[in-house]
Chains A and B, each alone.
Chain A
Amino acid sequence: MRLCRGGSGLRSVVCMTQTTGNGAAVVFTGAVKTFGRAGQRVRAVDGIGLTVERGETVALLGRNGAGKSTAISLLLGLNEPDAGTVRVLGRTPDQAVRAGLVGAMLQEGQPIPRVTVQELIAFVASTYPRPMPVAGALDLAGVTEYANRRIDKLSGGQLQRVRFAVALAGNPELIVLDEPTAALDVEARHTFWDSMRAYARRGNTVIFSTHYLEEADENADRIVVVDRGRIVADGSGEAIKTAAGHSQVSFDLAGRSTEGLELLPGVVTFEVTGDRAVLHTEDSDATVVELARLNAIRGLQVSQASLEAAFLTLTAPAAGASRPEKEAV
């Protein structure tokens, strides 16, 4: 199965080919979800094909309104696709949720009034066939400290952790987190990802959405870049950088002529500022080896493409694409 559809040039470079097995945790096949009334319809999810294997930690990376939350709502069975199918652990999303295989941390959600943390987690755990001990869930999410406080009295960061505890409580095989760190400060974010990775290490599948590149890069095995309801790239952070951005190799010309620089191995383009040449290369190793052979290594510097640049390249508005931009929730 091909993971990315359509696109040309860069956009399809990072697509991977994988086999669809019954063993997969999540399989989207040509999933489409359209919102809005006639005349103003928005394809929030526009033909997503994606396979997530069991045990993987996958980030759905995209801007606000890219279709991440809608994809997640399909995954959880909250919405049904207009076309295509979504399978979760070999069942329909609804069946998977009912069987207690899925835990979710939803993006929207204000505190439920008049319940304590402990009461809520104990209740959620009780709905699952094989929950983790309540104390364990509280501990893993780092909320033990205020277990007896009412949820509507917690701060935003504390609340976020409670919602993580809700997702964990049932000890589900697949955990789905929609923008899990939105309300967290830097330190809380750190703690959160530690807990999340601990959970993933137990062999569980984790799918989270984010618009933070670094978060995706640091915490996921695989990044799926979503833009305008489509998958535009899919692979490791490294693969995406390589595919979408070029490394830069720069050195002092020291009076050398710039002639033939574009013919060096890997080099795509180059520019010269003062006495310094900057080569944009697809293969920095080959470029550097050749420069060394030519003894043009004074002040040599190699800088890798940033994920940021890669992301911008991948999601840059494509020519002729004039679909209405709308926040898809």
Chain B
Amino acid sequence: MFRYVLLEIRRTLRDGAFLIFGTGMPVMMYLIFTNIGGEDVDGWKTASMVGMAAYGALGSAMSIGTGVASDKSLGWLQQLRVTPLAPTHAVVGRAISGSVTVLPTILTVLLAGGLVNGVRMAVWQWAALILLLWIGALPFTMLGLGNGYRLTPQGTGVVNIACLTGFAVVGGLWFPLELLPEWLRSVGRFTPANRFADLGWAVTDGHSPGVTTVGVLCGWLLLFGTYAVISYRRSARTV
């Protein structure tokens, strides 16, 4: 599996356009959003930094699926499927190699926050934030992969955006959960994007994420991971 991770990382790093677009967009959005209004109200630059880093991480995590979908259309997945590489290893390996695009996205937004917008936090908070956002994006990587193994490149793009938007709304990333109806609010707290963002909010509030948050995210990871493995196994079918 290690060799597979290496191979896919090499392939990703050679795709300059993908890297620049993937990591460049969130940081640009962050800088624009936090510098249009002028004043820093209620730690908006910090909150927005976490939000944008999280959003960027989700976006790049899921976009790995688009790459996988085009690999499938090239026949690469089929070729991979007739090597002894086990489906679980193929999926986990692809998720790990995909993380190399997630990390720079998080880093550039946080760098912009610290260097350009003067956000100040303790060193452990920076470190924890990077690590948690990086690892916490894994369920979304799995979801993106599952879609990519199953759908065409175009289909994957559309479904990914639908998933991302849906999770962002229901999870309270775009506006607070309090604005949603009661029943949706209680559901919202168990959605992956909400718990994912909670990782970041916990860190900026200065405490470690709750056990439920970690537990719920692990549950989603398992669910989406299974979806990805099943989709991978089906992906090589010729009809």
Contact = CB atoms under 8 A, between A and B. Distances in A.
A135 to B, nearest CB: 17
A98 B86 contact: yes
A127 B83 contact: yes
B84 A112 contact: no
Interface stretch (A49-57, A114-122, A311-319): A114-122
A70 interface: yes
A109 B238 CA distance: 12
A115 B239 contact: no
A243 interface: no
B120 interface: no
Contacts of A78: 78, 81-82, 236-238
Interface string B58-80: 00000000000001001110110
Contacts of B3: 122-123, 126-127
Interface stretch (B4-12, B29-37, B48-56, B133-141): B4-12
Interface stretch (A18-26, A100-108, A291-299): A100-108
B45 to A, nearest CB: 37
Interface in B82-114: 82-86
Contacts of A98: 84, 86
B84 A114 contact: no
B114 to A, nearest CB: 33
Nearest to B239: A35
Among B10, B14, B78, B238, which residue has the most Cβ atoms of chain A within 10 A? B238
Interface residues of B, number: 24
B75 A114 contact: no
A79 B7 CA distance: 27
A112 B238 contact: no
Contacts of A106: 75, 78-79, 82
A76 B7 CA distance: 24
A98 B85 CA distance: 7
A114 B16 CA distance: 11
A70 B71 contact: no
A166 interface: yes
Given A114-B15, A115-B11, A123-B4, A99 B74 contact: no
Interface residues of A, number: 37
Contact of A115 (B10, B83, B84): B10
A127 B74 contact: no
Contacts of A119: 7, 10
Given A70-B238, A114-B15, A119-B7, A104 B75 contact: no
Contacts of A102: 82
Given A69-B238, A127-B3, A97 B71 contact: no
A166 B83 CA distance: 9
B235 to A, nearest CB: 10
Contact of B84 (A69, A73, A127): A127
Nearest to A69: B238
Nearest to B237: A79
A137 to B, nearest CB: 13
A329 B75 CA distance: 13
Contacts of B71: 112
A301 interface: no
A116 to B, nearest CB: 9
B90 to A, nearest CB: 10
A291 B71 CA distance: 66
Interface string A60-72: 0000000001100
Nearest to B13: A114
A111 interface: yes
Interface in A148-176: 163, 166, 170
A123 B84 contact: no
Interface in A212-226: none
Contact of B82 (A76, A110, A115, A129): A76
Contacts of B83: 97, 124, 127-128, 170
B74 A109 contact: yes
Contacts of B239: 35, 79, 329
Interface string A174-206: 000000000000000000000000000000000
Nearest to A72: B238
A97 B238 contact: no
Interface of A: 35, 69-70, 73, 76-79, 97-100, 102-104, 106, 108-115, 119-120, 122-124, 126-129, 163, 166, 170, 329
**Which A-B residue pairs are the 10 nearest by beta carbons?**
A109-B75, A114-B14, A100-B84, A104-B82, A126-B3, A114-B11, A127-B83, A110-B74, A123-B7, A127-B85
Interface of B: 3-4, 6-7, 10-11, 14-15, 71, 74-76, 78-79, 81-86, 236-239
7 contacts: A70-B238, A100-B84, A109-B78, A110-B74, A119-B7, A123-B3, A123-B4
Given A115-B7, A115-B11, 5 more contacts: A77-B82, A110-B75, A112-B74, A112-B79, A127-B84
